[in-house]
């Protein structure tokens, strides 16, 4: 049972909602949230707020492993926080913060770097993909998963909602945490991945065999959460389908159509098969899917415009989030520092 770690860790929980499982997740400040991020991940973050003691961070330190312009990074971090608030994260019900605002992330990462091994980091497929064929690879790209593990353990997180692509990083976080506890005594809560079911995977509209993703450049295949109605409709109308003309839900044989059916299903709270029953023509399905997505995103876009007009208020929310996060993170870091034998300041 995944809560065992917590019960065996006497000092683990200092927060005031002790009965709810702690959840933590992070998102890169890539800007331009798209439907894949939103329906695949953020929607779950929003619903987790009520059932869990949820911590969410914009991982700006992780973004430094990429080539990113400093002014851009700052702007995108702010924009990503706004996107999350607009999507329904409520600072009254969750703790939303920027990773670099809580200094314990890098401190904890060092303790875990001295626990992780070169061999296990070399096995990370994401590292292999991103570093392959390059002349010069940053050390930060290599230790990226350790910083991620630090993000998680600092909050005694039992549950970590992530996409399937992060499964291996989560396994590493577990291994490193277990090794730390074996060596220094039960100190850190061992996390577990919470990976959403396949239905939440939004595929690229032009290449329905691959996940909708910002890093793969497919502007027509990616619906941005901020796209206006005309843009959304244009992208859905141009979505790749097939030529047999039959509306039927079949992920393997009709991936493009299945993606549209799934989108309309999530937007209207039905199953893709139920949705398919109501249509005979691709054109009608596309028109209704576009309309449903426009309506789904309308309130989010309105909230986003309000938030963007008041950057001071957003900064204040993030400051409060950082303060709450620091309370938890500093207690965990102190416990870990003590355990490894660092002389603590008086």
Tell me which residues touch ligand TRP (CB under 6 A). 24-26, 28, 59, 62, 148, 151-152, 160, 162, 166
Query: Which one, of 256, 257, 266, 295, lies nearest residue 200 by Cα?
Result: 266
**Which residue's C-beta sits nearest to ligand TRP?**
26
Query: Nearer Cβ to ligand TRP, position 49 or 241?
Result: 49
Tokens linked to 329: 């993170």
Q: How far is the CB of 136 from ligand TRP (least distance, A)?
A: 22
Tokens linked to 143: 């230790």
The verdict on whether 324 is a catalytic residue reads no
Query: Nearer Cβ to ligand TRP, position 25 or 80?
Result: 25
Please, what is the angle between helix 139-153 and helix 167-184, to 10°?
70
Q: How far apart are CA 239 and CA 247, in angstroms?
A: 15
- Which of 128, 130, 238, 324 is flagged as catalytic? 130
Query: Nearer Cβ to ligand TRP, position 59 or 81?
Result: 59
Tokens linked to 162: 């992530």
Given a contact cutoff of 8 angstroms between Cβ atoms, the answer to whether 239 and 260 are in contact is: yes
Q: How far is the CB of 141 from ligand TRP (least distance, A)?
A: 12
Q: How far is the CB of 122 from ligand TRP (least distance, A)?
A: 17
Instruction: Give the end-to-end CA distance of the chain in Å, rounded to a whole number.
Output: 38
Q: How far is the CB of 148 from ligand TRP (least distance, A)?
A: 4
The verdict on whether 214 is a catalytic residue reads yes
Q: How far apart are CA 32 and CA 290, in angstroms?
A: 19
Query: Which one, of 169, 71, 99, lies nearest residue 128 by Cα?
Result: 169
Query: Nearer Cβ to ligand TRP, position 82 or 124?
Result: 124
Q: How far apart are CA 167 and CA 169, in angstroms?
A: 5
- Which of 128, 197, 211, 235 is flagged as catalytic? 211
Q: Which of the residues are catalytic?
A: 130, 211, 214
């Amino acid at each position: 049972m995944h809560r065992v770690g917590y019960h065996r860790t006497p000092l683990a929980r200092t927060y005031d909602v002790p009965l709810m499982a702690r959840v933590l997740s992070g998102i890169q400040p890539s800007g331009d949230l798209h439907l894949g991020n939103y329906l695949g991940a953020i929607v779950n973050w929003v619903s987790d707020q009520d059932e869990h003691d949820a911590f969410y961070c914009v991982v700006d330190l992780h973004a430094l492993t990429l080539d990113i312009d400093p002014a851009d990074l700052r702007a995108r971090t702010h924009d990503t926080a706004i996107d999350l608030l607009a999507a329904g994260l409520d600072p009254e019900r969750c703790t939303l913060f920027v990773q670099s605002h809580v200094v314990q992330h890098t401190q904890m990462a060092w303790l875990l770097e001295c626990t992780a091994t070169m061999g296990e980091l070399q096995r990370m497929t994401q590292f292999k993909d991103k570093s392959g064929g390059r002349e010069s690879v940053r050390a930060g790209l290599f230790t990226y998963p350790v910083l991620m593990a630090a993000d998680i353990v600092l909050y005694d997180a039992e549950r970590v909602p992530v996409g399937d692509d992060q499964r291996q990083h989560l396994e590493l976080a577990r291994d490193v945490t277990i090794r730390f506890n074996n060596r220094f005594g039960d100190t850190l809560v061992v996390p577990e991945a919470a990976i959403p079911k396949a239905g939440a995977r939004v595929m690229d509209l032009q290449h329905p065999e691959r996940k909708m993703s910002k890093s793969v450049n497919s502007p027509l295949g990616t619906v941005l959460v901020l796209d206006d109605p005309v843009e959304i409709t244009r992208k859905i109308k141009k979505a790749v389908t097939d030529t047999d003309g039959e509306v039927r839900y079949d992920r393997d044989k009709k991936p493009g159509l299945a993606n549209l059916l799934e989108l309309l299903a999530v937007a209207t709270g039905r199953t893709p098969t139920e949705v398919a029953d109501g249509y005979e023509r691709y054109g009608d399905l596309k028109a209704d899917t576009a309309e449903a997505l426009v309506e789904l995103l309308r309130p989010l876009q309105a909230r986003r415009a309000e938030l963007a007009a008041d950057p001071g208020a957003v900064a204040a929310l993030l400051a409060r989030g950082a303060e709450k996060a620091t309370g938890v993170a500093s207690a965990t870091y102190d416990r870990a520092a003590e355990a490894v034998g660092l002389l603590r300041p008086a």
